Structure 1
């Protein structure tokens, strides 16, 4: 696991959330358990965490709030994401220790993550992101590896809604795209788990060039957080070697849906124009019935 010596490490992140006034002795006991037994507490209930720290459940909740979270479940979700991001792929699979059929377990995990996302995601973040896209000259969406599926879905729907968007997943193409970014542009960085360095670098460069940067991630690094205007925290824990993409896709769809309400006439005209071309290119197996 990463150590306190690393500025981007798990321990530095957690200690950095401690308020300047510090924590009371019982709160410090909770913090010590979080630091020394991250795997265990990231899968524990508040009562189990309280028992480990030798305090009551109320103290665990108050400590979570003192660290800037709404409560234990909020802290636990990011704690687990941070912990898992410090592990290699084989270590992640070992840490999961999921029993039974992984197919069904994966679907159940996604449902749990969507429920958590629904409870904790601030809809104002969706509105702010959508409005930034609508106001921008163009939007660059950065998404590497399997995360490209999230970026591709978002980019496709942003274009359908009538706005300029480019989805980039090749590093050379990304460098070229960033070189053309200007003030007033938007860059959306999509990355989970250990984060792609090229995505973080693109966010930093875009920020320095005056663009508005938004991040879709499960645990933003300090560098990504510093470059971003807003961070949409999305649970992405899977049951095997890799993170789940389902919650990220849900947020991408939510942003697109919100974007369609910013200028409904523009979006309607764009979709009608696209529909005309789909018909001319005979893209669809079933053509829409025309009156």
Structure 2
């Protein structure tokens, strides 16, 4: 697949070109900045894995111009722009094409761990504490919380739902599309929908987010690259790096954000959460779930 073909496919399915051009400031870019933008649009595969110096060479500018253009597009610098650019580029590819595009060398086990560490560092730098607080407080105030997750990212949804319930709040995790349609039919104002989808977004997730928003629910999306439709339906989008190695997106950053949300949730009403955890502990003992029982104080 050529870069130009990729750009076309991404523009049609995931709004790649629309997304990137939509970040251009109203005053536009200077001529050299426009050259950088043109390279981003026409050679996404190449620049997704290029250094700032390599991107500068492709655009015929210097490295400082690449950095300034990234900032003009709303990023802190080249590395942050490249992270989201790559996520959106990879979302346009099939699983075999993803593995071919990454061209990871050496032992993939170690490479996977290193990739996760890099992604968590990016996440730590970019994640807004206020955004996590907003989602946690919305969950605490909600009449009902619906969590959507598909594929391997069911693990993220299950972890989030399990711990939201443990913290003392009602939450339902939906994995099946028929169940999702039925659940969305009961959404009302005062509900919260958390949409978790990475790589190539599931259409059912986007449809559910749009429907929930139209019904007055608060919608939050956890994703690596929100499509224009998902972004329009969501009150807030949490952008999470999810690039793995080989064919597999990484689960680690998504799980880290799920844990951050429930950690913040536990501070909204600490007494409620304490009572909920104590009640759960009593039932764990009653059902004999634990191999080792805790000491009684």
Displacement of 1:12 in angstroms is: 2.4
Partner of 1:261: 267
- Deviation string 1:150-189 (CA, Å, 9 cap, x unpaired) is 0000000000000010000000110111111110110000
1:101 aligned residue (103, 107, 110): 107
Distance between the aligned counterparts of 1:221 and 1:102, measured in 2?
30
Pairing 1:3–2:44 present: no
1:141 aligned residue (140, 147, 151): 147
- Deviation string 1:62-119 (CA, Å, 9 cap, x unpaired) is 1111112121111110000000001111100000100011111001100110011001
Pairing 1:44–2:50 present: yes
Displacement of 1:23 in angstroms is: 1.2
Displacement of 1:7 in angstroms is: 6.7
Residues 190 and 217, structure 2, Cα contact 8 Å, conserved in 1: yes
Partner of 1:159: 165
Partner of 1:25: 31
Partner of 1:183: 189
TM-score by length of 1: 0.97
Distance between the aligned counterparts of 2:13 and 2:173, measured in 1?
30
2:124 aligned residue (118, 122, 132): 118
Distance between the aligned counterparts of 1:57 and 1:93, measured in 2?
29
Partner of 1:274: 280
Distance between the aligned counterparts of 1:264 and 1:115, measured in 2?
29
1:80 aligned residue (80, 86, 96): 86
Partner of 2:241: 235
Distance between the aligned counterparts of 2:14 and 2:275, measured in 1?
46
Distance between the aligned counterparts of 1:185 and 1:265, measured in 2?
23
Give matches, 1:55-66, under 5 Å. Answer: 55-66=61-72
1:71 aligned residue (77, 80, 87): 77
Superposed structure 1 runs of 4+ greater than 6 Å apart: none
Partner of 2:3: none
Distance between the aligned counterparts of 2:155 and 2:254, measured in 1?
9
Structure 2: stretches of 5+ with no match in the other structure = 1-5
Distance between the aligned counterparts of 1:290 and 1:84, measured in 2?
52
Partner of 1:92: 98
Distance between the aligned counterparts of 2:121 and 2:76, measured in 1?
16
Distance between the aligned counterparts of 1:253 and 1:162, measured in 2?
15
Residues 7 and 41, structure 2, Cα contact 8 Å, conserved in 1: no
Residues 146 and 171, structure 2, Cα contact 8 Å, conserved in 1: yes
Distance between the aligned counterparts of 1:225 and 1:36, measured in 2?
24
Residues 192 and 217, structure 2, Cα contact 8 Å, conserved in 1: yes
Displacement of 1:45 in angstroms is: 1.5
Residues 190 and 216, structure 1, Cα contact 8 Å, conserved in 2: yes
2:255 aligned residue (249, 252, 277): 249
Instruction: Kindly report the root-mean-square deviation, in angstroms, between the aligned alpha carbons of the 2 structures.
Output: 1.2
How many pairs were matched up? 291
